[in-house]
Amino acid sequence: MAEKELCRIGIEELDTQLGGGIPIGNTVLMVGSSGSGKTTTCMQFLINGAKQGERGVFFTITEPLFKLTKNMAGFDFYDKKLIESGMVNLIDLRIISERLGLDTEKYSVEDASALLDILRDIADELNVKRLVIDSITALCYRLQTREMIRDFIFKLGSSLAAMSCTTFLTSEVPPQVFQYSQYGIEEFIADGIIFLGDVDRQGDLIRTLQIVKMRGTAHSRTKSAMSISSKNGIELAPLLKSTR
């Protein structure tokens, strides 16, 4: 059987749990509540890719670029040169919307469709192998009806499926709730779901990461403890079962 082509995230234990990495071309929903580490994980994925010569693009709609770069500069993995050289491209979707003359807070069907076209053109033009949208929740929030959101998500899904890059979409959910998305539709276009949560251990909130699904690969479904540090960024370790 031919070896499946995998995209290594570059977070060692996570790649191991995935059986080597994400099948290339997959769209993965990175789910978590506020501060759970979604943005950091996605940035580490792009930076690690760039270090291996794979170009990436990060579309932000939640954090302005100056804040994003300031926060990421606190991590050793973050290499400004990769941004300057264009190996990792940071793009603020609100600025794109402004340039398109769109209302940046409220999108019509046409606006959303124009934005999708731009997104696809940028990814094509830069020939990116890794793409991040942070967050799909904030994008959908700008659409007025459930029907529009549904339509947009399915269009986004087919656009991404037609591209050959591996994609992370971040999804914001309320804390302490096990749901994958705000609108309940986002997961349907995802080939994979990674859930960032937490567990209470004697009053300490421990960050956790769990691969819920990943099409095309046999993966672990075990919940791991996750840490975030300046030195190593995102790291995983076994979650001790004890609840003493």
Beta-bridge partner residues of 177? none
Residue with the two structure tokens 């302005």: 64
172 binds, among ligand ATP, Mg ion, none (CB under 5 to 8 A by kind): ligand ATP
Nearer to ligand ATP, 48 or 217 (CB): 48
Taking each helix axis as running N to C, give the angle between helix 146-162 and helix 109-126, from 0 to 180 degrees, rounded to the nearest 10: 20
Nearest residue to Mg ion, by Cβ distance, number only: 39
CA–CA gap between residue 111 and residue 109 (Å, rounded): 6
**φ and ψ of 100, to 5 deg:** -80, -5
In angstroms, give the least distance from the CB of 216 to ligand ATP. Answer: 26
Cβ neighbours, 10 Å, residue 74: 11
In angstroms, give the least distance from the CB of 36 to Mg ion. Answer: 9
34 binds, among ligand ATP, Mg ion, none (CB under 5 to 8 A by kind): ligand ATP
Q: Which stretch binds Mg ion (CB under 5 A): 37-45, 85-93, 105-113, 227-235?
A: 37-45
Asked whether 33 and 175 are in contact (CB, 8 A), the reply is: yes
With b meaning 16 or more CB within 10 Å and e meaning fewer, what string describes 141-159? bbbeeeebbbbbbebbbeb
Two tokens, residue 1:
């059987």
Contact status: 224 vs Mg ion (CB under 5 A): no
- Select from 26, 36, 39, 167 the one that contacts Mg ion (CB under 5 A): 39
DSSP summary character for residue 189: G
Asked whether 160 and 125 are in contact (CB, 8 A), the reply is: no
Asked whether 122 and 90 are in contact (CB, 8 A), the reply is: no
Asked whether 130 and 170 are in contact (CB, 8 A), the reply is: no
Nearer to ligand ATP, 82 or 194 (CB): 194
Nearer to ligand ATP, 102 or 173 (CB): 173
Asked whether 45 and 30 are in contact (CB, 8 A), the reply is: no
Nearer to Mg ion, 40 or 97 (CB): 40
In angstroms, give the least distance from the CB of 244 to ligand ATP. Answer: 25
**φ and ψ of 181, to 5 deg:** -160, 165
In angstroms, give the least distance from the CB of 46 to ligand ATP. Answer: 13
In angstroms, give the least distance from the CB of 209 to ligand ATP. Answer: 12
Q: Residues interacting with ligand ATP, by CB under 6 A? A: 32, 34-40, 62, 71, 74-75, 172, 228-230
Contact status: 41 vs Mg ion (CB under 5 A): no
In angstroms, give the least distance from the CB of 35 to Mg ion. Answer: 8
75 binds, among ligand ATP, Mg ion, none (CB under 5 to 8 A by kind): ligand ATP
Nearer to Mg ion, 44 or 217 (CB): 44
Nearer to ligand ATP, 76 or 117 (CB): 76
Binding site for Mg ion (CB under 5 A): 39
